[in-house]
Each structure stands twice: as C-alpha cells, then as structure tokens.
Structure 1
Amino acid sequence: MTMSKPLVRWTLALAGLAAAAFLQPAAPAAAQSDEPGCRPEMASLRPPIQPANLALANLAKDEVRLTFVGHASFLIETPAGVKVATDYNDYVRPQVTPDIATMNKAHSTHNSRNPDPAIRQLLRGWDPAGAGAAKHDVTVGDVRVRNVPTNIRSYDGGTDYDGNSIFVFEIGDLCIAHLGHLHHPLEPGHLRALGRVDVVLFPVDGSYTLDQDGMLEVLKSLQARVMIPMHFFGGGTLARFLARSEGLWPVERREQATITLGKATLPAKPAMIVLPGH
C-alpha cells in the first residue's frame, strides 16, 4: 500500500519523537527528605548543575579548580585531574563521576542512597554502624582527604555524637575545609585536628546548622584566607549573613560558579568570595 505524502511526514515525525524519548537520559529518582518540620530541601534548590569544563587551562601544582554545584555540593579538581564531589547526594551532583565523594551527614540532601558505582572512594562522615566516629585518611593521586568528626542535633532534641564530619582536602600546599552540617562552635581540639585552613566552605542558613553569629565566630577562629558560603535557602539568608559580617572581611561576588584557587595567589588578608548558586 502506498502512503500519501502527509501520512509519510506524520509517520516520520512520530518516529523522531519516539527516538528522542528513548535517547533522553532518565532523571535520578527523587529521595524523600527526612528532615522533620522542613519542606523538602531541594524542592526549590535545583540550580543549573555545573559540569567540569575540560577545556580550561591546566592547573599548577598548588592550584585547584572549585565549582559550586549547589546547596552544600562542590566539585574540586586537582592538577593531576582527580575530581572530588562534596556532600554528594541524589538531588544535586556534578555531571561528571567523581573519583572521591564525601557525604558529611546522614540526610537525604547531604548523602546518596544511590551513589555512582564508579566512584573510587565513597567517604561517609558518620559511622553507619553507630560504632563511633568515622575515620578517613585516604590519598588518591595528588589529593589527601581526611575528616574531623563533630556532633549534630538529633531529631528528638538530643545529640547525635560524631554525626557530622568536616572534610579536609589537601592538594599540594593548599588546604580546603568543608564544614558540612556544622551545629556547634569549634573547640580547641577541632582546631588542632584541622590545622591550617586556607579555604573554608561553610553553611550560612543559621537554622538547620549553627546560628549565623556562631558561624562568624567559627570563621574568626579558622582565619582562612578565602571563605566561601554555602547551604543557604535563597538570597535573603545570604544577605542577612553578609550584613552580620559587614566590616569584618571584604566581600567579592563572582559571576561564574567556578573559581581557580592557588596557594601563591590567595588574598593577603582573609576575604569572603560569593559564588552564584544556592
């Protein structure tokens, strides 16, 4: 049977739509938020995921490329090409498979129930067996990753001891600390365990984590040369934190979510750098 030209065109178009649907990658299954009294954290927090730009210039020995993926997730790239994803979860994650993924807290927006099996090192900031603090100290290529445990508030109002980890990334002579879901001021023992911190990634929501005034005290104690805020639910929360910090440190707002940081090019005095995203 010979089909008419309009019917041929309609059939070809339908076939094209079916092929496109077949080739479209499936979206990851949404995990239910398990933070009580809270809307699903990521419902309004789906910023464009920033893929690693492989065409960017090579990094020097003590440089890193840092991309704010969103919420508390960053992609860290080293001179040797090692990729690290912080707070790896099932909502917001880099489009590249990291070599190392850290997950600081047992909460659905800070850890993954379905991690990519190709990840070489999957580091949880708590002990799933409840046997004590998580202990990590691993080296992959040119990056060393270790953790400093801290406590968090439990859902029943008590304390979940060692339920969070500050992850520390050492690349060359550069030291980056990701504070994770920090709930309390840092004690002298924490500061000794952390050592010198050049770059700190810190939460500023002021409610689910440490209050904003307390976070300012943490930053004062760390004296990092670069401070990058994260874990804020819209511009208003960030603006309130920046207003509280006014006069303490200069603030630089970047237009791109990716920044290259080097030991030799760190600011002479501590400064806050705000990357786009939330």
Structure 2
Amino acid sequence: MRLARNLASTTAFLIALWLTPASAQQQDEPVPSQCLAIAQAMPNVTYASFTPAQTFVDGEVTITYAGHSTYVIETPGGVRIATDFSGLYGSEPLPRIVTMNKAHRTHYTELPDPAIEHVLRGWNPEGGPAKHAVVVDDVYVRNVPTDIRRWGEMEEGGNSIFIFEVAGLCIGHLGHLHHRLEDAHYGAIGRLDIVMVPIDGGMTLSVGAVSEITQRLFSSIILPMHRHATPLGEFTAAMGETFDVDMRDEPSFSVSLRDLPRRPTILVLRGV
C-alpha cells in the first residue's frame, strides 16, 4: 500500500521538523510547528510543543467566507490569505498568500496576479508531492499532500491540506479531498483548532466520509465549504449531537485562542 511505503518517510520528515532550528525561513527548509503531532506510534500520536518560527502577534484572526472553497484569513499582523484561490473570490484587496488545488478551475488559476507574494500550489508541477513551509510575518503555512481524482484516476500528491499557524491557532483547509485520511495523514496534520471541510457529498467525498474525518480531527470550529446542493442538515446530522451548530448572518467572524468555543461547533457563515 502506498501509504505504508510512505509512512517511514513521513515520520522522518516530522522528526526533521522537530530537530530543525526555529530560524528556518525558506520553503525547502522545514520549520518547527506548534500544531504538529510526531508520528511515533499509529494511531496514537504524541503532540509536541514548539516555539513558533513566525513572529508571534497576539490577537484575533478574522476569517471570511468568500465563495466556493475560498476562505480569506486575516492575521493579527495584517497578512491576508485566500484558500483554493481562483481569482473569482477573495481577490480584493489582493492577498499576500494564496493556496490552490487543481481539482477544477474554481480552485486554482494559471495566471495569478504577479503582485501576490506567495502562490502555494497544492501539487508539484514538476511531479511528486508539493512541499511548502513558508513563514510570512506572523503566520506559518505548511501542507500535507493527499491524492486527487482526475478523469476517473487517482493522481498521487495532486491535492494538499494546507495548515496555517497564527496567533497560537492551528487552522486547516482540507482542499478538494477525494479519499479518507489514514493514520499518517492525521499524524502529519497534528492539532487543528479550526478546519474548513468540503460538504458537497460527491465531487469530493461523501457526507459520511467527510463527517468521519471531521469527527476524528475534533476541531473547536468546523467551517463547511464547497456545498453545492447538499442540505446543511445532512452534514450537521451526520456529525451528531456532540457538535453544536451556529448559523450566522454575517460572512465573517473573528476568533482568538482564548475564546474558542467550549464545545466543538459547526459555524455556518453567510453564503455557505
């Protein structure tokens, strides 16, 4: 099984992250993560605490639903990030960082504005999995590669789960996920306080499969996206009574590590 073959290299990569000095800033140099779990024994993991490599700025992170799978994240230090960026949503004002996945054209663009400082593709155009470890002011962005379904075939490393570490929060975006996650994925992801999950029920994963993933991640805030015609009640019902549901009339909210909800909450912003 491909995951079994990759497990040893995944574990070695996580340990390399642990041992690398916090001053590393380049994409090809792993950066210590405050959210990462060292994959020592699956399925059990040991969560490690690191001094963040990014400049720590205390305060609130603002998250806005822009459309489809695009959320805009604004850090306390003023860094603007747009997820699954196609240029259709979240482009004004222009983000400093964009992430992309290549499921279809509403998740990426081949012609990003050259003024965008960091264009992070969830796939590697040269082949093999993408690898990102980028520090921009008060945010650290890294990725966990997954496979993607293209024209009926699974393409290894074609999608990425992007993780944004900022103000003590661990924020994850599952991208256009096409398969269940295995133990090595969960170990590489680590803790997620906030997770953005596709709930379309077919073009990515079934509602049952995505709810299983979301339940295991057990984040404080779950942000649905990529909904299409799926009734919201289908997803919330699959998540069960452990998860509260908070429907908002606004497209944005602000949150800090101190005021995460006590019970895990599915937060549905306007437009979803």
- TM-score w.r.t. the length of structure 2 is 0.76
Structure 2 residue aligned with 1:160: 155
Q: CA offsets, 1:144-163, max 9 Å, x none?
A: 000000011221x2211111
- For 1:238 and 1:127, how far apart are their aligned partners in 2? 34
Distance 1:267 1:177 in 2: 17
Residue number in structure 1 paired with 2:62? 65
Instruction: Give a deviation string over 1:28-66, Cα, whole Å, max 9, x none.
Output: xxxxxxxxxxxxxxxxxxxxxxxxxxxxxxxx7142100
1:135 aligned to which of 131, 136, 142: 131
- Residue 253 of structure 2 corresponds to which residue in structure 1? 259
Pair 1:225 & 2:251 matched: no
What letter corresponds to residue 216 of structure 2 in structure 1? S
Q: How many residues align?
A: 216
Q: Does structure 1 retain, via aligned residues, the 8 Å contact 2:167–2:256?
A: no
Whether 1:196 and 2:191 are equivalent positions in the alignment is yes
- Structure 2 CA distance for aligned equivalents of residues 118 and 209 of structure 1: 31
* 2:141 counterpart of 1:145: yes
Q: 1:107: which partner in 2?
A: 104
Q: Does 1:240 align with 2:234?
A: yes
AA in 2 matched with 1:71: H
Q: Secondary structure at the match of 2:162?
A: strand
Deviations 1:228-273 (A, max 9, x none): 1000114x43232223334231100011001001100001121110
**Retained in 1: the 8 A contact 2:215–2:239?**
no
Query: 1:220 Cα shift?
Result: 1.3
Whole-Å separation in 1 of the counterparts to 2:242 and 2:199: 16
Against the structure 1 CA distance between its residues 90 and 97, is the aligned structure 2 distance closer, same or farther, given a 3 Å change threshold? Answer: closer
Kept after mapping to 2: 8 A contact 1:103/1:124 = yes
Counterpart amino acid of 1:223? F
Partner SS state of residue 61, structure 1: coil
Q: Check the 8 A contact 1:126/1:164 in 2, yes or no.
A: yes
TM-score, length-normalised on structure 1? 0.75
- Conserved? CA contact 2:242–2:264, under 8 Å: no
- Superposed CA offset, 1:120-140 (max 9, x none): 0000000112x2000000000
Match of 2:216, SS? Answer: helix
Q: Within 5 Å, which residues of 2 pair with 1:81-120?
A: 81-120=78-117
Matched, 1:276 2:270: yes
CA–CA separation in structure 1 for the residues paired with 2:241 and 2:125: 42
Aligned match of 1:216: 211
Q: In 2, are the aligned partners of 1:75 and 1:94 still within 8 Å (CA)?
A: no
User: Which position in structure 2 is the counterpart of 1:174?
Assistant: 169
Shift of the 222–62 alpha-carbon distance from structure 1 to 2, 3 Å rule, reads: farther
Matched letter for residue 232 of structure 2: L
CA RMSD of aligned residues (A): 1.4
Q: Identify which of structures 1 and 2 has the higher relative contact order when contacts are C-alpha pairs closer than 8 Å and 6+ apart.
A: 2
Query: 1:105: Cα distance to partner?
Result: 2.5
Partner amino acid for 2:64? T
**Considering only CA atoms, is the larger Rg found in Structure 1 or Structure 2?**
1
Q: Decide whether the 8 Å contact of 1:205 with 1:212 is kept in 2.
A: yes
User: Secondary structure, in 3 states, of the residue corresponding to 2:266?
Assistant: strand
